[in-house]
Structure 1
Amino acid sequence: MSSLTVLLHLPGAREGAVVPLEILVLDTGHIIHALARCGMVTQVDVKAASLYVQALLADGQVLTAFADAHDDTHVTLTPQSAASQGERLSMKESGATENESRSLAMHDEPYRGAWARLWKPAWGGGSRPEDAWKVAPFEPIGLDSQPKRLQWRMAEAGGCVLQVGGDAIVRRCVVLPPAADITVTLTRTIDDAQDFDAGYAVRAHTDDEHAEALLAYSTAGELTAAQIIAQHYQDLAEGMLYSKVSNPLGAIVGGYYLLRSRALERMHDWPRNLADLYPRLPDAAIIRIGQLLQSQTPDQSELRSRIHQAVHAGLPSYTDGLRWLYRATDLLLPLERNDEELQAIHRWLRPYADAADWDAILTCFRGNPAQPTVKPYTGLPQNGWAAEGIVPLSGSPQNQGQADHSAPVRKEERSIPLGKYGVLAARVVDRRREGTVDAPHYQIHLRDSQGTDYRAAINVLSYTPPSELLYIADDDFRHPLTALLPPPSSGWTSLPSQPGTASLDFIRGNLFDPAQMRILPPELPGSDNELVALLDHYVQHAIKNQAAVYLFGRRFGPAANEPDRVFGFMPGNGVHDIHMNQGNSGSFRNESGVYQDGGLLIHMPTESRWVAIFLAFLSQTWHTDDITGRSATGGEPVRIFAALVNAVGPASEAESITLFNASETPVDLTGWHLADQQSRLLRLPSEPLAAGATITVPATGAFELGNRGGAITLLDPSGVKVDGVSYTSHQAPTDGGIIAFTAPS
Structure 2
Amino acid sequence: MGNGAYGVWKGRAVGSVPATGTRTHFQLRLRADGHHAPSADARVAINVRSDTNPSELLYSLDTDFRHPVTGHLVGFPWGFSPMRGRPGGGAIDYVRGGCVKREHMVPLPCHAPGPDNDLCDAIGRLVLHATETPRVIVYAVGEHWGPDHRRDKHFNFYPACGMHNIHMMQGNVGRFMRDDAPWSDGALFFQDVDRGRWTALFLAFQPQSWHTDEHGHAIPDTPPMAEAPGTPVEGLVRIVAAQVNPKGSDAGHETVTLINRSPLGLSLAGWTIVDARGRAEPLHALFLNPGGAATITLSGKGAQLPNGGGTITLVDAQGSRVHHVSYTRAQAQKQGWTVLF
1:550 to 136, 139, 164: 139
CA offsets, 1:379-403, max 9 Å, x none? xxxxxxxxxxxxxxxxxxxxxxxxx
1:585 to 173, 184, 190: 173
2:5 corresponds to 1:420: yes
CA offsets, 1:617-638, max 9 Å, x none? 0111110112x1010133xx65
Which TM-score applies when normalising by structure 1? 0.29
Q: Which residue of 1 aligns with 2:148?
A: 559
- Greater helix fraction, Structure 1 or Structure 2: 1
- State how 1:398-413 maps to structure 2 within 5 Å: none
Task: Say what the alpha-carbon RMSD is for the aligned residues.
Answer: 1.7
CA offsets, 1:591-622, max 9 Å, x none? 10000000000001121100000000011111
The structure whose Rg is larger is 1
Percent identical pairs in the alignment equals: 38
How far has the Cα of 1:486 moved from its partner? Answer: 4.5
Aligned-partner SS, 1:558: strand
Aligned-partner SS, 1:624: coil
How far has the Cα of 1:426 moved from its partner? Answer: 0.3
How far has the Cα of 1:478 moved from its partner? Answer: 0.2
- State how 1:496-575 maps to structure 2 within 5 Å: 496-546=84-134, 547-560=136-149, 562-575=150-163
| Distance (Å, rounded) in 2 between the aligned partners of 1:584 and 1:445 | 28
CA offsets, 1:513-561, max 9 Å, x none? 211111111011222200000000011111111210000011111002x
Question: Which amino acid in the other structure matches residue 622 of structure 1?
Answer: W
Cα 1:417–1:577 shift into 2, 3 Å: closer
1:483 to 71, 76, 79: 71
| Distance (Å, rounded) in 2 between the aligned partners of 1:506 and 1:467 | 20
- State how 1:675-686 maps to structure 2 within 5 Å: none
- State how 1:115-514 maps to structure 2 within 5 Å: 419-437=4-22, 439-449=23-33, 450-451=35-36, 452-487=40-75, 490-514=78-102
Question: Which amino acid in the other structure matches residue 143 of structure 2?
Answer: R
- Asked if the contact 2:57–2:107 (Cα under 8 Å) also holds between the matched residues in 1, the reply is yes
- Asked if the contact 2:207–2:224 (Cα under 8 Å) also holds between the matched residues in 1, the reply is no
How far has the Cα of 1:440 moved from its partner? Answer: 0.9
Question: Which amino acid in the other structure matches residue 431 of structure 1?
Answer: S
Q: Which residue of 1 aligns with 2:219?
A: 632
How far has the Cα of 1:417 moved from its partner? Answer: 5.6
Question: Which amino acid in the other structure matches residue 515 of structure 1?
Answer: E
Cα 1:508–1:520 shift into 2, 3 Å: same
Cα 1:640–1:460 shift into 2, 3 Å: closer
- Asked if the contact 1:464–1:619 (Cα under 8 Å) also holds between the matched residues in 2, the reply is no
Aligned-partner SS, 2:95: coil
Cα 1:574–1:419 shift into 2, 3 Å: closer
| Distance (Å, rounded) in 1 between the aligned partners of 2:218 and 2:169 | 11
CA offsets, 1:383-429, max 9 Å, x none? xxxxxxxxxxxxxxxxxxxxxxxxxxxxxxxxx56540000000000
- Asked if the contact 2:209–2:224 (Cα under 8 Å) also holds between the matched residues in 1, the reply is no
CA offsets, 1:183-229, max 9 Å, x none? xxxxxxxxxxxxxxxxxxxxxxxxxxxxxxxxxxxxxxxxxxxxxxx
CA offsets, 1:29-69, max 9 Å, x none? xxxxxxxxxxxxxxxxxxxxxxxxxxxxxxxxxxxxxxxxx
- Asked if the contact 1:553–1:579 (Cα under 8 Å) also holds between the matched residues in 2, the reply is yes
- State how 1:593-672 maps to structure 2 within 5 Å: 593-626=181-214, 628-634=215-221
How far has the Cα of 1:489 moved from its partner? Answer: 6.3
- Asked if the contact 1:470–1:518 (Cα under 8 Å) also holds between the matched residues in 2, the reply is yes
| Distance (Å, rounded) in 2 between the aligned partners of 1:487 and 1:596 | 19
Question: Which amino acid in the other structure matches residue 26 of structure 2?
Answer: Y
Cα 1:602–1:640 shift into 2, 3 Å: closer
| Distance (Å, rounded) in 1 between the aligned partners of 2:223 and 2:78 | 45
Question: Which amino acid in the other structure matches residue 539 of structure 1?
Answer: V
Aligned-partner SS, 1:557: strand
| Distance (Å, rounded) in 2 between the aligned partners of 1:499 and 1:567 | 34
- Asked if the contact 2:206–2:224 (Cα under 8 Å) also holds between the matched residues in 1, the reply is no
| Distance (Å, rounded) in 2 between the aligned partners of 1:630 and 1:556 | 24
Aligned-partner SS, 1:484: helix
| Distance (Å, rounded) in 2 between the aligned partners of 1:474 and 1:550 | 15
Aligned-partner SS, 1:466: coil
Which TM-score applies when normalising by structure 2? 0.62
Aligned-partner SS, 1:467: coil
Q: Which residue of 2 aligns with 1:681?
A: none
CA offsets, 1:431-489, max 9 Å, x none? 1112241x211001111034401000001011122111000000000001111114476
CA offsets, 1:205-259, max 9 Å, x none? xxxxxxxxxxxxxxxxxxxxxxxxxxxxxxxxxxxxxxxxxxxxxxxxxxxxxxx
Question: Which amino acid in the other structure matches residue 631 of structure 1?
Answer: A
| Distance (Å, rounded) in 2 between the aligned partners of 1:604 and 1:640 | 32
Higher relative contact order (CA 8 A, sep 6+): 2
Aligned-partner SS, 1:555: strand
CA offsets, 1:685-742, max 9 Å, x none? xxxxxxxxxxxxxxxxxxxxxxxxxxxxxxxxxxxxxxxxxxxxxxxxxxxxxxxxxx
- Asked if the contact 2:208–2:225 (Cα under 8 Å) also holds between the matched residues in 1, the reply is no
Q: Mind listing any 5+ residue stretches in structure 2 that lack a counterpart?
A: 227-341
Cα 1:640–1:511 shift into 2, 3 Å: closer
- Greater strand fraction, Structure 1 or Structure 2: 2
Cα 1:555–1:463 shift into 2, 3 Å: same
| Distance (Å, rounded) in 2 between the aligned partners of 1:470 and 1:539 | 19
- Asked if the contact 1:486–1:493 (Cα under 8 Å) also holds between the matched residues in 2, the reply is no
CA offsets, 1:153-195, max 9 Å, x none? xxxxxxxxxxxxxxxxxxxxxxxxxxxxxxxxxxxxxxxxxxx
Give structure 1 regions of 4+ aligned residues with deviation exceeding 2 angstroms.
Answer: 416-419, 486-489, 637-641
